[in-house]
Structure 1
Amino acid sequence: MVATSSPSRRTPGAAPGAPRGLPAGPVTAALGVALLAALTAAVSWGSTSIPPAEVWSVVGRRLSGAAPRPGTDDLIVWQLRVPRALSAALVGAGLGLVGTATQALVRNPLADPYLLGVSNGASLGAVAAIVLGVGAGGALGLGLSAAAFAGALATFALVWAIARRGSGFAPLRLVLTGVAIGQFLSGFTSYLVLRTGDEQQTHSVLFWLMGSLSGATWPLLALPAAAVPAGLLWLQARARSLNALLMGDETAAGLGVDVTRLRRELFTVTSLLTGVLVAVSGAIAFVALMVPHACRLVVGGDHRRLLPVSALSGALLLVVVDIVCRVALDTQELPVGVVTSLLGAPALLYLLDRRTGDRA
């Protein structure tokens, strides 16, 4: 058995046993530059290629309030591709944050909203709102986001309650419970979709459920543009408490953390972010699982550094994935969730194999 330091000598400044990793400043700067380049490529590439210089010219004129130039470039860049690229960045950043927070909340590195069934609950809430005709919710899509949030919160609470039953709390039990409930909710969601009776709506909703950013518009960006930065600031302010939570409830309480209150707040915030993201893009699998793991390998487990790096990494990953989905096939667009699943499933198998090997 590996010896550990006594709880009284630990501080909530860093996660227990986590390597410090690289300095967060240079990593953050590099990710920022890479994200800016990826956003430029996302707007520039497509069925109609537009030079990067022209992309920035259009963006600059729009931001300065100057009259747009005549032609189709302005329409393609500003009305179609920029909202989609920004939507990909916001959703990816949100998924990175939600994955990091969820793994701290349940003290399980295999946890993410998709595996725990939270994304399925959010999808069920959103689809129910669409089927019942209350999903519009105004220009900002507030009705859809509220329904997705309610589904995510109810599912999270149910998974947690079932996993806590019996003898203690087992991380593997939590994941298996989430997978089981998620599959049940996914089946019920499919039933609702097939009951719509509208073939076109059925096709659109099914494509959206696999993860899609094709419906991104400027008005729909407002809610995630507010929710994701707010979520980052809220989580960043509690980074030390998240570090302490990883040491266990008793140790965290001994360090002055109100564990019950913190966990209740994390339930609410992660469910709210998941609901907003699902309402924008559908359920995108594995991003919230892969990103925190990759970032811990680079900057360590201290949430003060991990949270912003996870947000930037998630944004970069999803922007790149969305580019692949748009340009991979000539005749049609791939759902974003297809590509993330192809990347994430092998990553999950690797993590499971490594954890099993460590316990052998």
Structure 2
Amino acid sequence: MRAPHYTLLLVTLGAVLLVSCVVSLGFGPARVPVDVVWHIVLHKLFGIGEVNWSAGQEHIVWLIRVPRMLLGALVGAGLALIGAVLQAVTRNPLADPHLLGVTSGATLGATLGAVIVVLHVGEIIGLLTLPIAAFIGALLSMLLVLVIASRQGRLDSDRLLLCGVAVSFVMMAVANTLLFLGDHRASSAVLFWMLGGLGLARWELLAIPSASVLLGLILLLGMARPLNALMAGEQTAVTLGLNARNVRFRVFLIASLMTGVLVAISGSIGFVGLMIPHIARRLVGAEHRRLLPVSALLGSVFLVWVDVAARTLIAPEDLPIGVATAAIGGLFFMGLMRKR
């Protein structure tokens, strides 16, 4: 794709994302007209316009739906970025952020937090108790997978994926056992991490995922050339003087930390990192300096609209967003398997 066409694509996707973010705020159990949404957002951001809406509409849009929409856009962008780089370093088109065992570690951490800390000790740091417990579990899970997968100082990508799957099964078994034997009041809290959702979105919780996704994008864009070389094969990378093991380790570390942060707030939202990079490659090819920004924008647009479907299909209840992405991703996966 030529540079002008690529620039036009980025501008188009950015415009689609902006329109999607504004329009999506009107959907939900309580419908809010788009023009009212637009005036509320402009008034809150820039102090423009007269107040001709109710306090309830302002509360719904600004305090509930805007943080949720922003979190959805961040999680979609982050998971798409992680999926794109994991597929490159593993040379596996089915690689997904959750294959590293990070999601199951977050679920186990949230389970321990719910069963031990919240129910028996009380919420120590309020709303952040379970997200922090989930992040600690994700981080420990990632470190465990890296330790098991390392062999004589080498980190083989296939071995890493297999270790991630094995650790996931073990940690989910422990989490399910704790839920079965423990207080059943913890089940509803932990179910959020198992099924995924954006219900924890609050303005005060957006800083960490925002910094994580932005920093991850910058670091991964800086590794675009090594990622391109790894996509071409191990021998090509070595010929170019690339230390493939170090590049893989750095990518796995960045991907795991990003996944841990996102999963700690949004729970397990699968298949975004599997689907979106394939769609982005159809648009711009496999060159990562172009692929990563397009993947991030597509992931944001996708998850914003999936969240709209999740909160409107069975309104006034919320459909867990992980259920919606699993349904869409399963169909995509079957189509991918038929073609390849």
TM-score relative to the length of structure 1:
0.82
Aligned length in residues: 332
For residues 347 and 159 of structure 1, the distance between their equivalents in structure 2, rounded to whole angstroms, comes to 31
The 8 Å contact of residues 104 and 246 in structure 1, kept in 2 or not, is answered as yes
**1:118 to partner: Cα distance:** 3.2
Pair 1:147 & 2:131 matched: no
For residues 68 and 182 of structure 1, the distance between their equivalents in structure 2, rounded to whole angstroms, comes to 53
Q: Which residue of 1 aligns with 2:295?
A: 310
Q: Which residue of 2 aligns with 1:321?
A: 306
Query: Of residues 107, 116, 122 in structure 1, which corresponds to 2:91?
Result: 107
**1:22 to partner: Cα distance:** 9.8
Query: Of residues 259, 275, 282 in structure 1, which corresponds to 2:260?
Result: 275
For residues 261 and 41 of structure 2, the distance between their equivalents in structure 1, rounded to whole angstroms, comes to 26
> 128-137 or 226-235, which moves further after superposition?
128-137
For residues 203 and 125 of structure 1, the distance between their equivalents in structure 2, rounded to whole angstroms, comes to 15
Q: Which residue of 1 aligns with 2:174?
A: 188
Q: Which residue of 2 aligns with 1:97?
A: 81
Pair 1:52 & 2:38 matched: no
Query: Of residues 291, 295, 317 in structure 2, which corresponds to 1:332?
Result: 317
> 61-70 or 89-98, which moves further after superposition?
61-70
Larger helix fraction of residues: 2
Change (3 A) 1:264 1:28: same
The 8 Å contact of residues 76 and 303 in structure 2, kept in 1 or not, is answered as yes
Change (3 A) 1:45 1:136: farther
For residues 136 and 65 of structure 1, the distance between their equivalents in structure 2, rounded to whole angstroms, comes to 37
Give runs of aligned pairs for residues 248-287 of structure 1, distance below 5 A. 248-287=233-272
Task: State the Cα deviation string for residues 304-338 of structure 1 (Å, max 9, x = none).
Answer: 11000111111111111100000001342110011
Pair 1:342 & 2:327 matched: yes
For residues 149 and 88 of structure 2, the distance between their equivalents in structure 1, rounded to whole angstroms, comes to 14
Q: Which residue of 2 aligns with 1:5?
A: none
For residues 207 and 127 of structure 2, the distance between their equivalents in structure 1, rounded to whole angstroms, comes to 9
**Alpha carbon RMSD of aligned pairs, Å?**
3.0
The 8 Å contact of residues 270 and 326 in structure 2, kept in 1 or not, is answered as yes
> 173-182 or 24-33, which moves further after superposition?
173-182
Change (3 A) 1:136 1:53: farther
Change (3 A) 1:63 1:228: same
* Stretches of 4+ aligned residues off by more than 6 angstroms: 19-22, 138-142
The 8 Å contact of residues 159 and 181 in structure 1, kept in 2 or not, is answered as no
Task: State the Cα deviation string for residues 192-227 of structure 1 (Å, max 9, x = none).
Answer: 33444152x321221332001112101111100111
For residues 338 and 143 of structure 2, the distance between their equivalents in structure 1, rounded to whole angstroms, comes to 31
> 109-118 or 34-43, which moves further after superposition?
109-118
Give runs of aligned pairs for residues 1-360 of structure 1, distance below 5 A. 23-64=5-46, 69=51, 71-133=55-117, 143-144=132-133, 146-154=135-143, 156-157=145-146, 160-161=149-150, 171=158, 178-199=164-185, 201-355=186-340
For residues 228 and 125 of structure 2, the distance between their equivalents in structure 1, rounded to whole angstroms, comes to 38
Task: State the Cα deviation string for residues 109-135 of structure 1 (Å, max 9, x = none).
Answer: 111122443322333234334444288
**1:233 to partner: Cα distance:** 0.7
Quick one: which amino acid aligns to residue 338 of structure 1? V
For residues 286 and 204 of structure 1, the distance between their equivalents in structure 2, rounded to whole angstroms, comes to 23
Gaps of 5+ in 2: none
Quick one: which amino acid aligns to residue 110 of structure 1? L
For residues 111 and 271 of structure 1, the distance between their equivalents in structure 2, rounded to whole angstroms, comes to 13
**1:84 to partner: Cα distance:** 0.3
For residues 176 and 184 of structure 2, the distance between their equivalents in structure 1, rounded to whole angstroms, comes to 14
The 8 Å contact of residues 102 and 138 in structure 2, kept in 1 or not, is answered as no
For residues 155 and 304 of structure 1, the distance between their equivalents in structure 2, rounded to whole angstroms, comes to 31
The 8 Å contact of residues 140 and 222 in structure 1, kept in 2 or not, is answered as no
For residues 169 and 11 of structure 2, the distance between their equivalents in structure 1, rounded to whole angstroms, comes to 40
TM-score relative to the length of structure 2:
0.86
Instruction: Give the share of equivalent positions with the same residue, in percent.
Output: 40
**1:169 to partner: Cα distance:** 6.1
For residues 257 and 278 of structure 1, the distance between their equivalents in structure 2, rounded to whole angstroms, comes to 32
2:269 aligned counterpart, secondary structure: coil
Quick one: which amino acid aligns to residue 335 of structure 1? P
The 8 Å contact of residues 139 and 220 in structure 1, kept in 2 or not, is answered as no
Q: Which residue of 2 aligns with 1:7?
A: none
Change (3 A) 1:120 1:263: same
The 8 Å contact of residues 140 and 219 in structure 1, kept in 2 or not, is answered as no
Quick one: which amino acid aligns to residue 275 of structure 1? G
Q: Which residue of 2 aligns with 1:11?
A: none
**1:67 to partner: Cα distance:** 11
**1:174 to partner: Cα distance:** 6.1
For residues 198 and 19 of structure 2, the distance between their equivalents in structure 1, rounded to whole angstroms, comes to 19
> 108-117 or 274-283, which moves further after superposition?
108-117
1:110 aligned counterpart, secondary structure: coil
For residues 159 and 105 of structure 1, the distance between their equivalents in structure 2, rounded to whole angstroms, comes to 18
